[in-house]
Structure 1
């Protein structure tokens, strides 16, 4: 398996900050897709970093992201 680059910060946008059970949480969107990552964080920057970590664990690569974007445009 080739190690393809994973999603980068430029592909992520914080779309919402909210509080749940006393914790500050963020919804982070992968642009051009319907993928949303919910994370607990103390700042937007930390939220982006945590979202990158999660997306890296599921191996969302740049190549897979482009396929998703093309698919969503065709629907």
Structure 2
């Protein structure tokens, strides 16, 4: 199996910062998709890093991301 590149910081945007049960939380969107990752973090930068970790664990690759974007545009 060829190691495909996972999504990068350029593919992510923080869309919301909120507080829940005393914790600072962020919603991070994968641009061009409906994928949103919710993370607990102390800053936007930390939130993006945590979102990248989660997305790499589920192996969201650049190739898969492009397929998802095409599907989203066609709907």
- TM-score bracket, normalised by the shorter chain, equals over 0.9
Q: 1:25-44 counterparts in 2 under 5 A?
A: 25-44=25-44
Q: 1:1-75 counterparts in 2 under 5 A?
A: 1-75=1-75
Query: How many residues are matched?
Result: 75
Report the Cα offset of residue 60 of structure 1: 0.1
Provide structure 2 residue ranges, at least 5 long, that are not aligned to the other structure: none
Instruction: Report Cα offsets for 1:15-64 as digits up to 9, x if no partner.
Output: 00000000000000000000000000000000000000000000000000
Report the Cα offset of residue 2 of structure 1: 1.2
Provide structure 1 residue ranges, at least 5 long, that are not aligned to the other structure: none
Aligned-partner Cα distance in 2 for 1:66–1:59: 14
Aligned-partner Cα distance in 2 for 1:3–1:15: 30
Pairwise CA RMSD = 0.4
**2:60 is paired with a residue of what secondary structure?**
coil
TM-score, structure 1 length as denominator? 0.99
TM-score, structure 2 length as denominator? 0.99
